[in-house]
Amino acid sequence: MIEKSTGGIYVMDKDQITKKLEEVILEEMPELDSVNMNASMVNEYGINSVSLIRLIVAAEKKFDVEFDDYELDLSAYDTFADLVATVAEKI
C-alpha cells in the first residue's frame, strides 16, 4: 500500500491523493486521455454540476470520505487540484 502509518492511522500525502484522484477522474470521464490537475475544470474539461457530483461521489468511495453539502458546489473548485485539497483535508 502507498499509505504511511502515523501512530496507527494511515495517511496519504498530496501526491498520492492526486494520483488516486486522477484515476477516479479518468474512470468517471473515459473520454479524457489525460488530466492537467491545474487546468480549469469548466473551461478545459467542460465539467458541469452533474459531472462534478459524479466525481465527488466516486472520490468519496475511493477515499472513504464524505463531502458536506456546501462542498458540492461547482463554484468551490476552479481546478482538479482544488478537489485534491478538499480530499486532503478530509483524510
**Rounded Cα distance, 9 and 4, in Å:** 8
CA dihedral 1→57→89→9, nearest 10 degrees, is -40
Chain-centre distance for alpha carbon 31:
17
**Other C-beta atoms within 10 Å of 25: how many?**
22
Q: How confident is the model at residue 10 (pLDDT cuts 50, 70, 90)?
A: low
Strands 4-6 and 9-11: antiparallel
Q: How confident is the model at residue 6 (pLDDT cuts 50, 70, 90)?
A: very low
**Other C-beta atoms within 10 Å of 53: how many?**
13
Is 90 exceeded by the pLDDT of residue 42? yes
